[in-house]
Structure 1
Amino acid sequence: MTLILLFLTALLLGGCSSDKSTEEDNTSEAQLYQQAQEALDNNSYSAAAEKLRALESRYPFGHFAEQAQLELVYAYYKSGDAEASRSAAERFIRLHPQHPNVDYAWYIKGLTSFEENRGLISRFLPLDVNKRDPGAARDSFNEFAELLRRFPQSRYAPDAKQRMVYLRNRLAAYEVHVGNYYIKRKAYLAAANRGRYVVENFQGTPVVGDGLALMVEGYRQLKLDDLADSALATLRLNYPNHSLLANGKLTAPTSEEDYLGAFEKAPPAPSTTQANQEVQKQYEDAKDELPAEIQQ
């Protein structure tokens, strides 16, 4: 009797599972797309990604296939899956290089690296972002730069430019942090070289004066007085109010932060993006083409 009951239960469960699977398989392309949009509207990004993946898998040549691939980039991004979002963006760019919205894929790709640069831990703990490895920041800067190179008139260009300013300041501040580390380790040539790198490659950022201060300190410790005097004269001329200057001379730093005296925390990157608006706009553009029976 027990075996019979177990057999009947298995049949019932299998039948329910089969019915559910059949029902899902019979979902039309337009219905899947609408379900994905509803999930996006409800901020259910993982569910939206699942629907978009199903749409692309079942209807690879359908009317909404390209749109699903593009919106999948966004769904992954909003769900916090940076690697999947970046891969989806790269795939879309590779498959549809002439798509009218391919600049959107480039934008989200840069935005994904930008958020990765912030890091999950730093959102909850008071960590100094300028002391962390800037790999993701560099990736994001390069991706936004590529967006601007390819699509200078893109609607995302202004936002990308703002973020690039923030990222460039971040990269420059990291170089100063490394230079200060070398000073503390008495690696004065390496410190001076870091300072010179900042001066030569990050003009216009708030830490150029700090780069000069590193050069002065490094060259002075190496007894390269001519180079130290030249860097000090440039510092006095261009940054007379630098925190390490006293009566026109470079004072000894008392803490690591002294080498970031001229660096005021960079203005925060734009907190809002056009991603939400764009997904909605793209949906509205395609909405008229949905079958009338599902436009409820």
Structure 2
Amino acid sequence: MRQSIVRSAAILGVLAGVAILGGCSSDEPLAPFVDTPAEVNYNAGIAYLQQGDYKGATKKFEEVDQQHPYSEWARKSLIMTTYTNYTRGDFTSAITSGKRYLALYPGSEDAAYAQWMIAQSYFNQIPDVTRDQKQTQQALDSMSELVQRYPDSPYAAEGKKRMDIARDQLAGKEMEVGRYYLNRNQYIGAINRFKTVITQYQTTRHVEEALERLTEAYFALGVVDEAQTAAAVLGHNYPDSRWYKDAYTLLQTKGLEPRENGQSWISKAFKAIVL
């Protein structure tokens, strides 16, 4: 990931040495500072970047964008602004400039890179599972957009991995709230949370526990058929799981066995028939 970012920045930096674009027009000067040619500020930004001064580089790139809007220099400076903001940990600014870049230059060769930095900026702000997961959802949505819009980009494969991590985090939050309800005998609320894990985050590591917790909740409510189904699906898909052993032991306290009802939402969600 770091190599791809550095490589992209290096490619963009090379642009400083290509044929110089014409200087900005002085027909309608907005203020004295517009006399500074765009390429001068851009090259100054590259120099700051090479020195590791990302704040100074950001300032110079922003000056190009402000003084020469919609020029080719502004386009290059805007993607570099996104990069320097991201690298120095100013994720909010990186997201803002990245989104602006995509709005102005959606067909640019650097569009995938801009989307990657937006998604990474959200991803790097994913909070602890005990807190609100808005940033996690935004990270998932942004990574999903990256994969869908730029499937052949060098960032797509890593984006898919990040999506899995974000889904696991969101599932973990649902499990935390579900356990909270279950421990307070609020079984309907608990079931709704565990159901979300089963239906929306079925590929995460939390599914085994979610099925066992569903067994507990339905068993406590006396909805035996669903409790047996949850345990049966758990046993079919994860026969060696400790969660299956717990679910089986719970059913045995009333002489019951795991048994699937094919019409149950749990069965349909897994699309599996347990014999």
> TM-score under structure 2 normalisation?
0.74
Q: Give the superposition deviation at 1:247.
A: 8.8
Aligned residue for 2:272? none
Corresponding residue to 2:93 among 84, 109, 119: 84
Bigger mean CA offset, 67-76 vs 194-203? 194-203
Q: Give the superposition deviation at 1:115.
A: 0.8
Aligned residue for 2:124? 115
1:106 aligns with 2:87: no
Q: Give the superposition deviation at 1:94.
A: 1.0
Which structure 2 residues correspond to residues 1-296 of structure 1 after superposition, within 5 A? Answer: 27-118=36-127, 129-244=128-243, 245-246=245-246, 248-250=248-250
Distance 1:61 1:97, change over 3 A: closer
Partners of 1:58 and 1:215 in 2: CA distance = 60
Counterpart contact for 1:113–1:140, Cα < 8 Å: yes
Partners of 2:197 and 2:133 in 1: CA distance = 15
Q: Give the superposition deviation at 1:25.
A: 6.0
Partners of 1:142 and 1:247 in 2: CA distance = 34
Give the AA of the match of 1:55: V
Partners of 2:89 and 2:123 in 1: CA distance = 12
> TM-score under structure 1 normalisation?
0.69
Q: Give the superposition deviation at 1:61.
A: 4.6
Counterpart contact for 1:103–1:154, Cα < 8 Å: yes
Counterpart contact for 2:212–2:246, Cα < 8 Å: no
Partners of 1:33 and 1:246 in 2: CA distance = 63
Q: Which fold has the larger relative contact order, with Cα–Cα distance below 8 Å and residues 6 or more apart in sequence? A: 1
Identity across the alignment (%): 27
Please report the RMSD computed on the Cα atoms of aligned residues, expressed in angstroms.
2.1
Aligned residue for 2:8? none
Partners of 2:242 and 2:47 in 1: CA distance = 55
Give the AA of the match of 2:122: S
Q: Give the superposition deviation at 1:218.
A: 0.9
> 1:81-118 deviations in whole A, cap 9, x for unaligned?
22221111111111111212111111111011001115
Give the AA of the match of 1:68: S
Q: Give the superposition deviation at 1:26.
A: 5.1
Give the AA of the match of 1:157: A
How many residue pairs align between the two structures? Answer: 220
SS in 1 for 2:241: coil
Segments of structure 1 that go 5 or more residues without pairing to the other structure are 1-20, 119-128, 252-296
SS in 2 for 1:241: coil
Counterpart contact for 1:232–1:250, Cα < 8 Å: no
Partners of 2:246 and 2:103 in 1: CA distance = 56
Partners of 1:225 and 1:61 in 2: CA distance = 66
Partners of 2:166 and 2:205 in 1: CA distance = 12
SS in 1 for 2:242: coil
SS in 2 for 1:117: coil
